[in-house]
Structure 1
């Protein structure tokens, strides 16, 4: 790519086209060959600058991936060293951290993208060659295109980790920014792929908390976001206060749980306890799947859903749930998983459970049961969502036992005290939607006899 074309595209490196500067370069945006691009203009007065330039250029040539910034061209002319990249119209991730329009689902997508890009580098690219350590993962190193796809950039500090060496040690600590530095590396040990994973974990917490890792007032690394999040975890503090208010109400609790635990593992003080980038990808994809299921169901709730919610909001319900804050959260909002598949969703005190393959005659029988039962005022309605039938029931002080629709009956909570006792009794408050036909892991459906719906333990299970 000619220097003249680059100068024309950036209006001779005009200040209006200037975006930011790094340790070794200045970054501009412009248009070259009718294409919007970023132009990184390297300083040329030091040998170190030349090394960084060649390092990034080599990696971009050899490692092409959807989540790594793409090389458009380069120029070595008249003592200029320039790399031209694809343009990312939404700029750096860092500037969007506190933007409420960046939804939780978008944030999950971005985090997955970054983890996939890092996984690709760590595994040595398409040819599975020497792994690459990025060494500068942070929210300002992540670019976002017009569709909010994340692209890892700033590869000038990257280095290879060959199979013939011990974990690569790098002396230059300028390669990372305050707040993202692996505590093992900071204390003088080796820099490894797990150091990148630590930095990725900090980015995950930035996305969850809507704030940079290092804010005004931080004196040292111990006061940055990573150590702060880890202290909450170690001291078993409620992390709710740390979650960005702009997205807090959007997050499915089990999606949060999966994301939070993954992020915590990433920032473990010892690298050997951190997951690989590949494992992070898998866990974040599970968090996304949970969130998507949650949003799909929430949009298909019955029209009278808010009215039903109001029926469940009695002081008695909340007084009875004193066991843990987690249990209370499950009752008021949330999603329950079994084997990472949605079998039940809790929102504002209502439990929704999927009915699999319910026969029409069973639904008809149950509708007749609703009409004839003496406590029909407690049995609200039968709904259909996505061609799956759902029975919505009031469960104020009763348990529901059934073997099939024809033998459905109400059973007082005291009758079942020998099975689950007070723990179960407190859990039957609120509104429930019980599965007809059973949900694996929640019910043991039999053709005869009866069964007890027990959903006390699953909400507290560590999925």
Structure 2
């Protein structure tokens, strides 16, 4: 069990960030700049990310309080750890444990991010979302930029400023009608992330930089999705692992009215991971498929398993 969050003084944070020197900036989110620093936690030095809430954000107080409340209550290995906070001198600061490998977004096209690692990251995020949903919390901000990676490439879901807590299972129909306030929004967003993990950002980006969900759905239904996967990455994949993973991503986007819940998503991703582990341990007969003469032939073999 992690320790309770510490309420730091403003001067402590000024000191460890060298008065918020831009040299220490490691990112800038929707709510302000993020600084790398080192603080003491239970007598031990720990690397942290200090987010300085931008005062121009009109809901900053609400977002701050919500994030502190959520991260203080929820404890899961795939949620970013809250080290502490500061609410002093008209400053609002959130201090989380630093993720050594930054965000998933920065590694989507990285060849060192193997298929096995991508599967484990996906299963980790699904596990975190399942945990949150079981505790009546909707994340509302799932993306490749809010999924951070620690020194062991383990996923750490962050970005809790837009979370919504469902009180006693009650969901306001007005929120449901406009597409927020529902677990379905997390499922849809996670489907986008899964396609990004599989194909990279460039495969489905429009000219204005937005993700094109209909294109992802079309490519899957047209049995051409494998052509958008980096071939070096594709060669690493067990066919059934690829098939299950892509089917899960498709279902998260396509079935908007009745999408799979996170428990179902996690079970299927763990199944895909299990196939890959067997494949890499030379225990799975699908290694023979990789000797096929063309991608088209491999595609036919993979897609015959589409119902999972």
TM range (shorter): 0.7 to 0.9
CA offsets, 1:18-39, max 9 Å, x none?
1222332221111112211000
Question: Would you say the 8 A contact 1:167–1:190 is kept in 2?
Answer: no
Report what 2:25 is aligned to: 18
Aligned to 2:3: none
| 1:29 aligns with one of 27, 36, 40 | 36
Conserved 8 A contact 2:275-2:284? no
Residue of structure 2 aligned with 1:51, choices 44, 62, 79: 62
In the alignment, structure 1 residue 229 sits paired with structure 2 residue 216: yes
Cα distance per residue 1:213-234 (max 9 Å; x no partner):
8736147x6xx24221111234
Supply the distance in 2 between the matched residues of 1:77 and 1:214 (Cα, whole angstroms): 43
SS across alignment from 2:277: helix
Deviation readout 1:105-127 (Å, 9 max, x if unpaired): 00000000111111111110xxx
The 3-state SS of whatever aligns with 1:74 is strand
Does residue 151 in structure 1 map to residue 153 in structure 2? Answer: no
Q: Give SS of 1:35's match.
A: strand
Q: Distance in 2 between matches of 1:46 and 1:240?
A: 42
CA distance, structure 2, for counterparts of residue 56 and residue 79 of structure 1:
18
* Counterpart in the other structure of 1:211: 201
Unaligned runs of 5+ in 2: 1-7
- In the alignment, the residues of structure 1 paired with residue 75 and residue 99 of structure 2 have an alpha-carbon distance, to the nearest angstrom, of 16
1:140 equivalent in alignment to 2:127: no
The alignment status of 1:192 with 2:182, answered yes or no, reads yes
**Residue of structure 1 aligned with 2:246, choices 244, 252, 260:** 260
What's the CA shift for 1:41?
0.9
TM-score by length of 1: 0.58
Contact 2:79 2:157 in 1 (8 A): yes
Given that residues 226 and 299 in structure 2 are in contact (C-alpha distance below 8 angstroms), is that contact kept between their aligned partners in structure 1? no
Alignment correspondent of 1:240 = 226
Structure label with greater radius of gyration: 1
Mapping of residues 424-443 of structure 1, within 5 Å: none
Structure 1 residues 47-75: Cα deviation after superposition (integer angstroms, max 9, x where no partner): 51101110101001111110110110111
- The answer for the alignment partner of 1:39 in structure 2 is 50
1:83 counterpart = 2:90: no
Distance apart, 1:169 and its partner CA: 5.0
Q: Confirm whether residue 287 of structure 1 aligns to residue 292 of structure 2.
A: no
SS of 1:12's equivalent in the other structure is: coil
Alpha-carbon separation, structure 2, partners of 1:227 and 1:162: 33
Number of residue pairs aligned between Structure 1 and Structure 2: 296
TM-score for both structures, normalised by structure 2: 0.86
Matched, 1:271 2:234: no
Match of 1:119 in 2: 130
Residue 168 (structure 1) shift: 6.6
The C-alpha deviation readout for 1:114-152, integer Å capped at 9, x for no partner, is: 11111111110xxxxxx1111110000011000001011
1:327 Cα deviation from its structure 2 partner: 7.1
Question: How far, CA to CA, are the matches of 1:207 and 1:115 in structure 2?
Answer: 13
For 1:359-370, what aligned pairs fall within 5 Å after superposition? none
Q: Which residue of 2 aligns with 1:391?
A: none
Where relative contact order (Cα < 8 A, 6+ residues apart) is larger, the structure is 2
Unaligned runs of 5+ residues in structure 1 are 125-130, 171-183, 335-458
| Equivalent position SS for 2:281 | helix
- How far the C-alpha of 1:191 sits from its partner, in A, is 3.6
Alpha-carbon distance, 1:166 to partner: 2.8
Give the Cα separation in 1 of the matches to 2:305 and 2:125: 30
Change over 3 Å in CA distance of 1:168–1:95 after alignment to 2: farther
Structure having the larger proportion of residues in helix: 2
Distance in structure 1 (CA, Å) of the matches to 2:201 and 2:306: 30
What SS does the corresponding residue of 1:94 show, helix, strand or coil?
helix
